[in-house]
Amino acid sequence: MKISPVTPQDLQRSVIAVPPLARHDDLSLNVEANQALLGHLEAGGVRNVMYGGNANFYNVAVSEYARIVDMLAELAGADTWILPSVGPDYGKMMDQAAILRSRAFPTAMLLPMSFPYTDAGLAEGARRFTDALGKPAVIYLKSADYLAPATAARLIEEGRVVAFKYAVVRDDPSRDAYLSSLLQAVDARWIVSGIGERPAIVHYRDFGLKSFTSGSVCIAPRGSMRLLHLLRDGRYEEAEAVRQQYLALEDCRDGISPIRVLHDAVTLSGVADMGPMLPLLTGLSGADRERVAPAARALAAWDREAAAA
């Protein structure tokens, strides 16, 4: 596992995969399936792997947290950066900081809070967490105006931030007042596009963001890495052709549930058996599985064909 401090170059070297977490029917961790998924990502060139919402870290018990992060660290290749998540509430993140402080992870991501909060309270929580961890953090921006641009800039100046994961969904991603205001306060190298392949081209070309996160990369890692490389080279028409391959599955995710669809899509595609979801979430209904399966299998087949070409 990569343990050196995270740099902008690290953020840009790879798509940042956001995978689900595999469990057995009794909800214990399935080490073999998690190894299979991580190995699939690494074989496709992915070196940055973030365990957050798609891994249902919101519902993970603090009592299980050390076991999870230790498993992930052991499974990762020497050059793979594992990014665990914490929170979203203050008490949980501070308990998790105590666990992570004794381990070699170079950073952790603060999951977004939906319970009432204030801008100053979020900033104070980030300060106390990074003090307890002894390292800077990734902050997840999932809703418009979640953190004021000036506050984001101050946290960077204080050395408390590795990056911001920007995941505010827009009907038209080219029109985004919050992202524009953030970019007036902080350099684009601090912000990662955090909504998968759908807005990746617009975020790269129009806003200057240099990396993106993805869930569907878990099924088709080579394609996502090719998309990143095409964006880096400014080959936007070719990038759009690659992006189109992901939209059938992304449409399922947007229409049903991004987290639940990805979890079962990894299983349905044949990459690895993710098993059941940890409550308070559940897997897909039979009808939804029938809708998702063709999209997941087609994406996996396309990625295999691209690898063989």
pLDDT, one tens digit per residue, over 63-93 is 999 999 999 999 999 999 999 999 999 999 9
pLDDT at 307: 78
* Residue 220, token pair as written in the block: 């088709």
The two tokens of residue 2 are: 């990569």
The percentage of residues in the chain with a pLDDT greater than 90, rounded to a whole number, is 99
**Segment 17-37, tens digit of pLDDT:** 999 999 999 999 999 999 999
Q: For residues 260-289, give the mean pLDDT.
A: 99
At CA 191, angle to CA 185 and CA 193, rounded to 5? 135
Give CA 6 to chain center in angstroms: 15
Tokens for 91? 């008490």
Contacts of 296 (CB under 8 A, 6+ apart): 219, 249, 265, 266, 268, 269
pTM, 2 dp: 0.97
Kind and range of the H or E element at 164? Answer: strand 161-166
SS3 303: helix
Q: State residue 306's pLDDT score.
A: 83
Is pLDDT at 247 greater than 80 in this prediction? Answer: yes
Mean pLDDT of 288-303: 99
| Count of residues making up the chain | 309
> If DSSP codes are grouped into helix, strand and coil, which group holds residue 284?
coil
Q: Is the pLDDT of residue 173 over 90?
A: yes
Can you list the domains of the chain with their CATH numbers?
8-241 (3.20.20.70)
Whole-angstrom distance, CA of residue 35 vs CA of residue 30 = 9
What is the average pLDDT across 98-124? 98
